[in-house]
Amino acid sequence: MIKRLQNFVEKYSLFLLILILLIGIYSRVRLVLDKTFPFTYDIGRDLLAVGGMVHHFTIPLIGPTTGLSGLFYGPWWYYSLVPAFIVGGGNPQIINLFMALTGIVVIIIGYFVGVKINGKGFGLILASLLSFSPSLIAASTQIWNPNVAPMYLIFIFLVLLTMINSEKAQRSTFRIRYLVLLGLLAGLNIDSEVVYGLILSFALSIFLGIFVLKKKIINYLYFLFGIIIILSPRIFFEFRHDFIMTRSIINSNLHGNSLGIFSNIPAQFVKSLMAIIQLWELTIGMHSLVIAVILGLGSIGIVVFYFKSLSCAHKLLIKYSLIAVATYLIVLAFFGGDIWGHYLVGVPVIYIFIFATACWLLWKNSRLLPFGVLILVFVLISQFDPYAVYSYYAKPIPYGDASLYRNQEEIVDYVYHEAKGRKFNEIVYTPPVHDYTYQYLFLWHGEKKYHYQPTLSHEPLFFVILEPDPGYEGRLRDWLESRKDDGKVIKETHFTSGIIVQTRLH
């Protein structure tokens, strides 16, 4: 019976992979198709920047702001959005399909990594967990630079595996190519999320030094060269602008606004540990921290117990995974401040590789195979809840809040409907302060559908768009009070999303 089950998986691996991909595609594109994906101010900011690149042929040397004062990301995120922007004509739905595609690439590459390590069985286990994981699905449904990190990380796994297995990689010429490629991928991870990427690159350096490069320290230069290529636009920017970012960071630290390293290591270590554990629960998707911790400890125990039975390549990738998790845990313990989710954005790929290894070790053991299948099925069903899928189609799609794309598009359509072709001005109250989303929607959606945009000159017709500000209602009241004499309110419309639009006449 057990042998027949294993043979069935081998025989119908292509069919099973297609099924896994279809589920992964569905999970990632459904929010795009019904326009319920987040459309926040930083997305509007990025699309305005990419629109400037496409329409005005500008090539920026820096990208979005980071959470660190005075430091900017590189421009590679903007560069990567250009093809999707051109293909979709600036349509945020098409651009968000690009994000879904990065998640689908993670599944496909994960399958081939698994096959190269231990055959189709392991490839399917790894692909299914990558496909179903709630944290990876969430990362594939929002246009945000950290969310491409899982794709870069799975490519690091592929390059490391090829480097370990390939006979050509043992030659110095080929090894140099792989090290430069790893540097490029590490640099792209830094450019997707600076804290996450720096820690990942540090962990990768430790792994390469101990298990791959060993005493050949000179080879680190090739790895570093790849990172420098990705950082080069920012380096050029610094030279052109008198090292403005460098000086800003130095001044920030000198004035006591540093990250507070060594501030309270024991308390911060607890926060770091909790962040690691909570991300594991979200990755496995058990909706129970206790069950998730049991599965996590059990997975590590199985991997350690059967470690000697793994192939050489598999052992090395497990070592890399454990080094990476330990590095995040330790480094974040010295990081004074809140530990945001995007600091760990690619770590679910590492978690899933460890968990898939534990499931596969049970799979290949005839006595433990039923137990392994039961755990895997239990986890996958908890992630891809059939009842939730039924409810999604059987019930009306919930409106959600003001941050969803379709709710903001509804507001823009309403404004144009009320304007009836007349020229108008608009102003937006939004908690993030910057109204980049509406700037972009009036620029793209307004021009495309209605063939004109709000004017910059003073017009009799004036619309005031008010987004809710939960917990800070006083700010909205004060804002409205300061504009009480700015035209006469002739109509006020409340939307299910919580957004209010006032039609005013000057």
List, run by run, the mean pLDDT of 10-residue segments along the chain (506 residues).
Answer: 67 87 90 89 93 91 78 90 94 94 96 92 93 90 92 95 74 79 94 91 91 76 93 90 78 53 69 89 81 88 91 93 94 79 91 93 76 77 64 60 91 95 93 90 94 90 93 89 88 92 93
pLDDT tens for 131-177 read 999 889 988 888 999 999 999 999 999 999 988 876 665 666 677 88
Q: Which amino acid is at 442?
A: F
pLDDT at position 291 is 85
The total of other beta-carbon atoms located within 10 Å of residue 175's CB is 19
Of 297, 286, 498, the C-alpha closest to 407 is 498
The H-assigned helical ranges of 384-468 are 386-394, 405-419, 436-441
pLDDT at position 247 is 79
pLDDT at position 257 is 47
The phi, psi pair for 378, rounded to 5°, reads -60, -45
Distance, in Å, from the CA atom of 195 to the CA atom of 199, rounded to the nearest integer, reads 6
pLDDT tens for 474-493 read 899 999 988 888 889 999 99
**Per DSSP, what are the bridge partners of residue 429?**
466
pLDDT at position 318 is 95
DSSP string, 34-82: TT-SB--HHHHHHHHHHHHHHHH----S--SB-SSTT-B--THHHHHHH
pLDDT at position 241 is 81
pLDDT at position 259 is 47
pLDDT at position 389 is 58
pLDDT at position 101 is 94
pLDDT at position 356 is 93
pTM score, whole prediction: 0.90
Map out the domains of the chain as residue ranges. Answer: 2-390, 405-505
